[in-house]
Structure 1
Amino acid sequence: MPMAPHTRLISVCICTFRRPDGLRRALESAFALQIPSGCTLELLVVDNDASGSASTVVDSFRAFTTEIRSLRYVNEPTPGVSHARNRCLESAAGEMLAFFDDDEFVKPDWLVELLACTDRTQADAVFGPVLPSFEIPPTPWALASGVHDRQRFPSGTVLPWREARTGNVALRRSMLAGGHRFSTEFARTGGEDSLFFATAQSQGRKLVWCDEAIVHESVPAQRMEPTWILHRAFMGGRTYVRLEARLGHRLPYTTFALRGLVASVVSLATVAALYLRGDARHVRHLCRLYGHLGKIMARFYSYGPYAGDA
């Protein structure tokens, strides 16, 4: 029986930087994906290491390609996540582009669920949950911090841009109209995806949640250490203010520094009271305190290491 024509090309994009084991696991899950009816699949790996270190891993999967599931490798030597994501946008050939990261792996029905939700809701971009997959049993401190917990919504919920991330998303190529790209101002700090979707939403684009399209994120032991968690909270507060500045908030650095100062005093008192009572919730409030400190210091830390680099 002749095969039905496959007319809809979907590009699944994975940005990677010196994570060979993570990339291998990501590609294993990508090659296990169910391909939606009437579609062909392009797997696109963009390597942000100028030395091309990911090419060996990608080459090891070439034997698994088929007529309806291709594999492409592109090197983006300019360092920074924004440059890698923009290279995906420029290199992908699909009418739909789906993203997940090199420290993540997807369920076999992930793409089917994303596309079905996109068609059902007529959304411009559809997002799904990213669930932690701990490489060792999570520490009580890490669990109490809530840093690896992400809010979930009923499928079909229209999302505010603050809940929009590239770790699990499918978007229409029409989102790129007018040269819409990820800002390189956030290439080394993160937040480029928030700005991308905030701008899109301001232009009338519809962002929707699909709770069935599940991605798992590997959480190594290092990401359960207090130093990593608190650094991430600080970076998040700092980046939040920079985003507000970029989006046109009036006097953002002054406003959020003052708010952060007041909130820091409250958080510090709460941390002390809970800690003295032996209440584990003090950890979550300590993370909030570091987030407020990041807002206070946002003006003086415009650049720095991306919290997700480690």
Structure 2
Amino acid sequence: MQPVSSASNVTVVARSPGLRSGEVEVVVTLPTYKRPEQVLATLQSVIGQRTSRRFAVVVMENDAEWHAGADAVAPLFENGTAPGLLIIAHDRGNCCAYNAGWATALAEFPNLRFIQVIDDDEVATPDWLETMCRSAGSLGADIVGAPQVPLFHEPGHEHWADHPVFAPPYRETGVVPALYSSGNLLIARRVLDAMPRPFLDLSFNFTGGGDSDFLSRAAMRGFTLGWCAQAPVMETVPARRLKPDWIRSRSLREGVLSTWVEKRKRGGSPAARLRVAGKSLALLAASPVRGTIRFARTGSLSNGLYPFYVALGRLLAEFGYANEQYRQAEKN
């Protein structure tokens, strides 16, 4: 790949010929790291969207050394099959990749109205883009989330879809109090114009949770959040994510991130810190009852243990515990 242009932490390595940047209404940002086959499938699903809206794609390769994902998708940009840009985000980390993509979209497409986000282990349904944009209008929402439907590596594992680490936070379309993931998300331009940069806090770079923190801060600024149940993406779930140690680690991580985000939301006063710790202790005390109810309903021990691990993760966060699952993202 020969770079087209570069900045201090971003290199543009491919730009589709004849790209009319000023006509683009929606930009889909797609980060990738060591998943060449999957990012190609994701990009092809985005290219095939059924919509009359002018849209472009920004793929953010976060493996500057080997750039296998960029090598896989570059021909689609170079021959004009994929409208948009392929960039290298040189600074490693989940948050750095997102920040590079969003900043590039704002700089390159002056008239965009929405940024949509999809990850490189997901495939969009054909009406995904149009449905998300319409939902933003019908709900009066500034940010819209939608389901990430798990596709399990092996048959017979479909029951895991109801486990909290895989299940969507909402089932019905509507305005919601909180969103937690950027894996399937629409963000109005006005949100990014109002939020400070970098958009995602780099302290979450390898733990995850930068998206949840960003969404929490956006809600605190008064932006309306919505959920669109009709715009799912299909997320590939490898077999390793069904192992007990991965489920336990992810559950603990969700507890840790919950504490971090809540502390930011409440502020740093001693009273606020005590309230957060008190809530964590209360959740830990309630976890046996909540877990028993979950186990009785699902018959799954892993599901039943989830409230305990989340509460334990919240408390561990008080002592500096951080699970950097994205330090080796290809093994996550």
TM-score, structure 1 normalization: 0.85
1:22-59 CA-to-partner distances (Å, cap 9, x unmatched) read 2122112112111x32x222111011112133221112
Change (3 A) 1:138 1:255: farther
1:147-201 CA-to-partner distances (Å, cap 9, x unmatched) read 211133432x11112x342111111111112453111121111111112111111
Between the aligned partners of 1:85 and 1:113, the Cα distance in structure 2 is 23
Is the aligned partner of 1:244 residue 2:262?
A: yes
Shift of 1:63: 6.2
Q: How does 1:154-303 map to 2 (within 5 A)?
A: 154-155=172-173, 157-161=174-178, 163-180=179-196, 181-249=199-267, 250-251=269-270, 254-268=274-288, 280-301=299-320, 303=322
* 1:18–1:54 CA contact under 8 A, matched in 2: yes
Name whichever of 291-300 and 47-56 sits farther off.
47-56
Between the aligned partners of 1:64 and 1:136, the Cα distance in structure 2 is 36
Name whichever of 199-208 and 227-236 sits farther off.
199-208
Change (3 A) 1:261 1:199: closer
Change (3 A) 1:222 1:64: farther
Task: Report the residue type matching 2:98 in the other structure.
Answer: R
Is the aligned partner of 1:306 residue 2:322?
A: no
Shift of 1:120: 2.5
Shift of 1:217: 0.7
Between the aligned partners of 1:218 and 1:282, the Cα distance in structure 2 is 23
Which residue in the other structure is 2:139 paired with? 121
Between the aligned partners of 2:291 and 2:260, the Cα distance in structure 1 is 26
Is the aligned partner of 1:43 residue 2:54?
A: no
Between the aligned partners of 2:191 and 2:294, the Cα distance in structure 1 is 46
Between the aligned partners of 1:151 and 1:269, the Cα distance in structure 2 is 21
Between the aligned partners of 1:43 and 1:270, the Cα distance in structure 2 is 43
Match of 2:168 among 140, 146, 150: 150
Aligned length: 298
Between the aligned partners of 2:194 and 2:293, the Cα distance in structure 1 is 52
Shift of 1:280: 2.2
Between the aligned partners of 1:74 and 1:17, the Cα distance in structure 2 is 12
* 2:136–2:144 CA contact under 8 A, matched in 1: yes
Which residue in the other structure is 1:83 paired with? 96
Change (3 A) 1:85 1:133: same
* 2:77–2:85 CA contact under 8 A, matched in 1: no
Name whichever of 298-307 and 170-179 sits farther off.
298-307
Shift of 1:254: 4.4
Between the aligned partners of 2:159 and 2:46, the Cα distance in structure 1 is 33
Between the aligned partners of 1:199 and 1:143, the Cα distance in structure 2 is 29
* 1:128–1:169 CA contact under 8 A, matched in 2: yes
Q: How does 1:67-78 map to 2 (within 5 A)?
A: 70-78=83-91
* 1:138–1:224 CA contact under 8 A, matched in 2: no
* 1:256–1:296 CA contact under 8 A, matched in 2: no
Which residue in the other structure is 2:148 paired with? 130
Percent identity of equivalent pairs: 25
> Any stretches of 5+ residues in structure 1 without a counterpart?
1-5
* 2:131–2:231 CA contact under 8 A, matched in 1: yes
> Any stretches of 5+ residues in structure 2 without a counterpart?
1-21
Which residue in the other structure is 1:3 paired with? none
1:43-92 CA-to-partner distances (Å, cap 9, x unmatched) read 110111121332211124236635xx513111112122111111111111
Is the aligned partner of 1:57 residue 2:72?
A: yes
Between the aligned partners of 1:271 and 1:202, the Cα distance in structure 2 is 31
Between the aligned partners of 1:19 and 1:216, the Cα distance in structure 2 is 16
Change (3 A) 1:76 1:263: same
* 2:30–2:58 CA contact under 8 A, matched in 1: yes
Between the aligned partners of 2:162 and 2:229, the Cα distance in structure 1 is 24
* 1:253–1:298 CA contact under 8 A, matched in 2: no
